[in-house]
Amino acid sequence: MHPEGFLEVITGPMFAGKTTELIKRIERQIFAKRKAALFKPSIDNRYSESEVVAHNGLRYDAFVIPTDEEGVKTIEEITKRERFEVIGVDEVQFFPMSIVGMLDELADSGVYVIASGLNLDFKGDPFPVTRELLVRADNIVYLTAICTVCGAPATRTQRLINGKPAPRNSPVILVGGRESYEARCRRHHIIP
Ligand code: TMP
Ligand code: MG
């Protein structure tokens, strides 16, 4: 489907269906008899240790990779050793910046790379890794969610701590799901 190599980025706020879209694309490639694999960071232990799981419960077997330089090398090694033609990386924003060049080179070498991740953190600031992948992408799949307050398209992620909007000095990384986050439109995205 992209035998010449391709870098595709799936992005948007939480609850937009990014992981579902990633799994769907990997499954289509497997139907097309391509050798495909999915990778996810070990930091994300929300629902499963060895599977990628979407908020809607859709799940798929994945290589679980630590979010350090070694982890980035491991993704490259597995892809080359197993001669994967298609790879997906979920939660790509959690990996170090070196993943950008590595994935870009894999695409140059003929691999169809699909990276899924948040474009913005809970403050509305870019995740640098996703930003750098977006500007290099051959295709961008931008998804929106639904604002939990008004039902408008949501492009932001609200972090809630004990039900209250998290302050700006809250740490950037906080793994969580519906107990800590809601999709919001610009108007209802609040940072005290
Ligand atoms: P999702 O994109 O599959 O919904 O998962 C996003 C993960 O990122 C989830 O574990 C929560 C985490 N997260 C942060 O660590 N910091 C943030 O600012 C946001 C918005 C999410
Ligand atoms: Mg997801």
Say which amino acid occupies 92: V
Cα-flanking dihedrals φ and ψ of residue 159, to 5°?
A: -95, 135
What pLDDT sits at residue 148? 98
Domain-located, residue 70: yes
The Å distance, Cα 61 to ligand 2 centre, comes to: 14
Ligand found nearest the CA of 41 = 1
- Whether 120 maps to a domain, the answer reads yes
* pLDDT(121) > 90: yes
Domain of 84 in residue numbering reads as 6-144
How many structural domains does the chain have? Answer: 1
Atom 10 of ligand 1, residue of closest alpha carbon: 175
Look at residue 23 and tell me whether its pLDDT is greater than 70.
Answer: yes
Look at 38-52, 99-113, 142-156 and tell me which has the smallest mean pLDDT: 38-52
Residue 156 inside a domain? The answer is: no
Q: Is 91 a catalytic residue?
A: yes
Which of 148, 157, 158, 178 has most ligand 1 atoms within 8 Å of CB, for mutation? 157
Contacts of 135 (CB under 8 A, 6+ apart): none
- Residue-level pLDDT at 142: 98
Query: What is the atom index within ligand 1 of the atom nearest the CA of 117?
Result: 2
Ligand 1 neighbourhood includes 125 CB (under 6 angstroms): no
Of residues 47, 46, 53, 92, the one with CA closest to residue 71: 92
- Report the CATH number that the domain containing residue 12 is assigned in CATH: 3.40.50.300
pTM for the predicted model, two decimal places: 0.96
Ligand 1 centroid to Cα of residue 20, in Å, is: 15
Question: Which residue has tokens 């209250």?
Answer: 164
Residue of 49, 91, 105, 179 marked catalytic: 91
Task: Kindly list the distances between the CA atom of residue 22 and the CA atoms of 30, 76, 93, 110, in Å, as whole numbers in the listed order.
Answer: 13, 19, 15, 19
Residue 153 lies inside a defined structural domain of this protein: no
Q: Could you report the per-residue pLDDT of 172-191, keeping only the tens digit for each? A: 999 999 999 999 999 999 99
Task: Say yes or no to pLDDT of 47 above 80.
Answer: no
What integer best gives the mean pLDDT of the chain?
Answer: 95
Residue 68 lies in a domain: yes
CB of 167 within 6 A of ligand 1: the answer is: no
**Domain membership flag for residue 188:** no
Average pLDDT over residues 130-149: 98
Is 14 a domain residue? Answer: yes
Q: Is the distance from the beta carbon of residue 94 to the nearest atom of ligand 1 less than 6 Å?
A: no
**91 in a domain, yes or no?**
yes
* Distance set, CA 88 to CA 31, 130, 162, 192 (Å): 15, 14, 34, 36
Q: Are 62 and 38 in contact (CB under 8 A)?
A: yes
Q: Of 93, 100, 99, which Cα lies nearest the Cα of 14?
A: 93
Secondary structure (3-state) at 32: coil
